[in-house]
Amino acid sequence: MMTLVDTSVWSLAFRRRSASALHAQHLADLINRREVAIIGPIRQELLSGIRDSTEFSRIRHRMRAFPDLSFTEEHFERAAEFFNICRSQGVQGSNTDFLICAVADINSLAVFTTDRDFHYFARYLPVRLYHA
């Protein structure tokens, strides 16, 4: 099954010194099976804040192996709908988080993340989480 990998997992694998071995191994398995999906906002979040230009170039080069999924207006409309559903239940999230949920729903993808907010979203939205 194709899996949309969130910034938190990519960051563990590429940027943090104390990477979670379990998450890194699951990511490597998904990559080896060619079951990884990414969107531009996740790529941007991952690359943002890298101070060292050599490190930025290294990660950018590695990430280019994974093409971004395309968006349509349906993705943005669904993201807004998901925002409204969660907000009505007292659950807050970022626009990017709801876009991830919308893309995953529309494209029948699981979401691989360490962000606990997605567990709250999954209570109210048709979001399947990848469990490491």
Give residue 49's pLDDT: 86
SS3 state of residue 42:
helix
50-70 pLDDT tens trace: 999 999 999 999 999 999 999
- Of the candidates 75, 6, 11, 90, which has an alpha carbon nearest to the alpha carbon of residue 41? 6
Give residue 95's pLDDT: 96
Give residue 13's pLDDT: 86
Identity of the residue numbered 56: F
Q: Is pLDDT of 16 > 80?
A: no
Q: Assign 3-class secondary structure to 80-111.
A: HHHHHHHHHCCCCCCHHHHHHHHHHHHCCCEE
Domain ranges of the chain: 1-132
Selected from 3.40.50.1010, 1.10.1270.20, 3.30.420.40, 3.90.1300.10, the CATH number assigned to the domain covering 1-132 reads 3.40.50.1010
**% of the chain surpassing 70 pLDDT:** 96
pTM: 0.92
Q: Is pLDDT of 15 > 90?
A: no
User: Which residue is listed with tokens 């590695």?
Assistant: 62
Q: Is pLDDT of 17 > 70?
A: no
Q: Is pLDDT of 37 > 90?
A: yes
Assign 19 a pLDDT band (cuts: 50, 70, 90): low
